[in-house]
Structure 1
Amino acid sequence: MCLRTGLPSWLQARVRTMTTQPLAQTNGARAPYQLKPFKVWGAEVYGIDLKQPVSEQVVERIKRDVTKYRVVVFRDQGVVSGQRQVEISQWFGPLESTFYKHARSPHPDVFRVSNVDTEGCTGVGRTGWHIDGSFQEAPFSHSTYHIVSVPLEGATVFAPLREVIKSLPEDKRQRWERLYMSSDRRSKTTHPIIYSHPQTGDKTMCFHTGMTAALGWDLDTPAERIATYQETEQLLQEIEDTFQHDIDHLKYRHQWREGDFIISDNLAVGHEASPDTQRPVSEVGLRVMHRTTIAGNAKPCKDYATAVSAPASLAKAH
C-alpha cells in the first residue's frame, strides 16, 4: 500500500505493468505474449509476431504451451513466408516432407493445399479422421498450419485423443487397445492404435481411417492375427463414426481467420478437414493453406522399453 500511494502516478503504472506483464518478445515489436486457454483444451496466443526473431525464452514457452494445450492458435500473424514457417517448425525438430510438391509452394518443405488444383493440392484431409504420418516408422511429432487465403467456410476440426480414449465405452476401448494398424501402400509399418505418447505418457492414438490397409489383433500375444477384410472395414468405420458423431463435445472446430498460424502436437490430436474446405471458389472463395510436418523420433509402442516390429503376417496384407 505504501508503495502505491508514495510514488508518482506514472511510476505506479510502471510498477503495475512490471508485476503483471506476461512473457514478451525481445524485439519489442508487439504487445506481450498473451495466452488464452480454450474452455476444455487448446489455446490462443496474441501479442507475438512470428515473422520476427524471438528469444530462446519465448521459443521454450511456446514449446511448453504446445505440449500442454496440444493445439495453439497464433492470431493476427499476417502473411508468414514459407522460409519463416520452416524456421518456426525447426524449433520442434527437423522437418520431414513426404507429400506431393506443388508448383506454387513457397518452400520445398511446405505442403500447399487449396480448393483449386492450380493453387495447391486438393482433397487434402478429406479421407477420414487421422494423425499426420501414421504410415511413418515414427509419425510426425508436430504440424504447423498457416492460412494464406481465407475462404468464407472451411474449418479444420481437431479432437484431443487422450479425452477421446477416456470417453469410450469399456468394451470399445478394450477392443481398440488390442488393435494394430498397417498403413497404406507407402509403408509396411505396423503401429498399435492406442499407445502411450512418447513425451507426456498420456494414452493417445496412431490411426488414419481412410489410409489403413489392414488391422491386426494382439500383436504382443500368441493370439495375434489379421482381421479379415470385413472386420477391418467394420472396425475402421467404428473408429470413424466415433469421431464423426460421438465426441462433438470434445472437438475444437477452427474457423480460420486472416493471419492465423497453428502449431499442433500431432501425436496428441486427431484432425480432419471439413467438407467445406473443398467447396468451389464461386461459393466460398479461394482457400490456400501452408502446412509443415516435423519428424517424429519414437515409434508408437505400447511399452517403449520394448521395441515392437511388424509381424510378417500383417506385412503380407499389402
Structure 2
Amino acid sequence: MGQTSEDTTRNKAPTIPSLDPDRVSLIEEAGLTLKQLEPLGVKIYGADVRSDLPEPIIEALEQEMANRGFIVFKHQRDLSPEELINASKWWGAREIHSTHGIHPATPDRNRHIFRCSNNSRYGILGVGPQWHNDGSFEAATFSHSAYYMARAPEHGGGTHFAHQGAGFDALPKEKQDFWQRLVSVNSASCVTHPVVHTHPISGRKSVWLHLGMTGAVLERLPEYGLSIEELQTLPATADNLRLLTPDEMKQLFNDYNDLLNESFEKGYGIRYHYDTGDLLFIDNWAVAHRASPEAHMPAEQQGLRIMDRVTIKARQNLAPHFGLPTYINMNGPHPFNKDGVWQTGGVGFRWKDDIRMQN
C-alpha cells in the first residue's frame, strides 16, 4: 500500500528514553542513587566527585548523558578548581579543552575555569542568552561541559535545556529531509558542521545550529532516486551546492529557535533550577542550552549567582557530510550563487534584530 500525503509529512513524536534498568543497577551497586527528571536529565545522590568513579560507572553515566542530555551530581559544595577539573576529565576524550578568557575572580586564576556571574566583580556577565552549544567554533566541538553552581541565587537563575535528538523527531518530514542536506559555516572560525548529525553514542539524528556565529549555510541539492544517506556519502561540488538566501536563512534560524522554544510544551525541554553545590554535566552533542532570563538579573534583585564552566575535548570532529572540508575560507570569493548569504565576522548572520547574542 502506498503512502498517503499525511503519512509523508507526519513526524515522529519526540521521545527521550527512560533510564536503562541494567545501568541503574550497576550505578546503584556503587552506592549512588539516581532520580530521573522529566522529560530529560538525571539527578545523582550519594556521590563525592572528589573521588574517582570506577570506569564501568563512568561509561554507564556517559551513556545516560547521551540519551537523557545531562546529569547532576547533588551536594558537591566547595569543590576546588583541581577537583572540578578532575571530575570533568571523566568524559569525552578525557581532556580539558579551554578556549575562554579568565576573569580576575576565577579561583586560582585557573585557565580551565570560565567563571560566570550576575555581578561583574565575581564573573563574566550576560553569558549564553540564546540557544547554543558550547564551542561551536571548533571542529571537534566540546563533547561535554560542566556547570558548577558555586553559589545559587535566592530567586531563580537556572539553565534551559532542549534535547536535539527529540527536536529532530519533532520536525515535519519535509524539514527533516531539507535540514539533513544543510551544512553551516561558522562566521568566526570558518569551521563547518552538519545541521543534522548522528550522535556518536546514542546513534540518534540530532539537530545542530549556532544562532549567533553562523555566516553561511550550504544546501546539498537533492538528486532524483538518491536517499539522504546516499547523498551524504557522495562528494559535493560547486554545481550541486547552493547558499541559502537571506530570507531562507531567516526562516531556518527562526524555525530552529521555535523548535527549541517549543521543547518545554512538547516534552523535550526542561527549565533546570540549581542549588548551591550542583555539579551538572551536559552531553554537548545531545542538548542545546541557554541561560534563563533570570540568570542575567542584577544580583541586587535575585541574589548573587556564581557559576564555573569547564569544557571537555571531543573524541572526534563534528564533521560535515557530502565530503565537504572541515574549514571553508570565508575571507575570499566563493563559487556559489551570488544571492546567497556569505558573511564573515564573529557576529555572523543577523537573523533577528531585537535579541541579544552573547554566547
**Any conservation in 1 of the 2:77–2:277 contact (CA below 8 Å)?**
yes
Q: How far did residue 44 of structure 1 move?
A: 0.9
2:278 aligned with 1:260, yes or no?
yes
What is the rounded CA distance, in whole Å, between the counterparts of 1:54 and 1:191 in structure 2? 33
For the pair 1:99 / 2:100, whether they are aligned, the reply is yes
Is 1:190 equivalent to 2:192 in the alignment? yes
1:162 paired residue number:
165
SS at match of 2:126: coil
**Residue 273 (structure 1) aligns with:** 291
Q: Which residue of 2 aligns with 1:38?
A: 37
Distance 2:305 2:254 in 1: 29
Further displaced range: 48-57 or 86-95: 48-57
After superposition, residues 226-241 of structure 1 pair within 5 angstroms as 226-241=243-258
- The aligned amino acid for 2:165 is R
- Look up the match of 2:310: 292
1:246-278 CA distance string (max 9 Å, x none)? 653211211111211111111011111111110
**Residue matched to 2:7:** none
What is the identity, as a one-letter code, of the residue corresponding to 2:118?
N
Letter in 1 for 2:187: D
**Structure 2 residue 262 is matched with structure 1 residue 245:** yes
Structure 1 residue 223, shift from structure 2 partner: 2.5
Letter in 2 for 1:174: D
Query: 181, 189, 195: which is aligned to 1:178?
Result: 181
- 2:150 and 2:308 in contact (8 A); partners too: yes
What do you get for the CA RMSD once the two structures are aligned?
A: 2.5
**Aligned residues of 1:215 and 1:226 also touching (Cα < 8 A):** yes
- Which of 117, 123, 129 is the aligned partner of 1:114? 117
Q: Which residue of 2 aligns with 1:132?
A: 134
> Does residue 1:148 correspond to 2:147, yes or no?
no
Deviation at 1:283, TM superposition (A): 0.9
| Aligned residues with identical type, % of pairs | 31
Alignment correspondent of 1:14: none
Which segments of 5 or more consecutive residues in structure 1 lack a partner in the other structure? 1-18, 25-31
The count of aligned residue pairs is: 290
1:87 paired to 2:86: yes
- SS of corresponding position for 2:29: coil
Letter in 2 for 1:122: L
Tell me by how many angstroms 1:308 deviates: 4.3
Q: Would the alpha carbon gap of residues 20 and 43 (structure 1) be closer, same or farther in structure 2, given more than 3 Å must change?
A: closer
Residues 164-214 of structure 1 show CA distances to partners (whole Å, capped at 9, x for unaligned) of: 1001112222232222111132x0111111011123321123321122122
Q: Is 1:205 aligned with 2:204? A: no
Give unmatched runs, 5+ long, in structure 2: 1-24, 222-234, 345-359
TM-score, length of structure 2 as denominator length: 0.74
Could you tell me whether the CA contact under 8 Å between 1:209 and 1:237 is conserved in 2?
no
Number of the residue aligned with 2:75: 76
Q: SS of 1:49's equivalent?
A: coil
